[in-house]
Amino acid sequence: PPPFTGVWMGDSKLCAIGVHCGNHITSHGLALNCCTDLTWFDHIVPCGLEGKGVTSLSHELGRHIAVDSVLEPFFDSFQEVFDCTLDFSEDPG
């Protein structure tokens, strides 16, 4: 929910995105929770957001969603949205 970044299911974050700039270097990242053990988040304040939860595709869909099953559709959607072609020097899996 605005103003928070990422992908949300209600008050729980499903996907985190971030950008870091420092020392003339910019890095970025994305973390999509597919089959994450959500109990690890009981020990931290995820993304520094008090009172917000974390979820996963497996939790939301009620069945195991393996990372390998998400890669191809994710990359296809990424290429479509950003009008680009991804070129892998190694197998992304």
- Point out the catalytic residue in the list 15, 34, 35, 47: 47
Asked if 15 is an active-site residue, the reply is no
The CA–CA distances, whole Å, from 18 to 8, 9, 15 equal 14, 18, 10
Backbone dihedral region of 47: left (phi > 0), alpha (psi from -120 to 50 degrees) or beta? left
Q: Which residues are part of the catalytic machinery?
A: 47
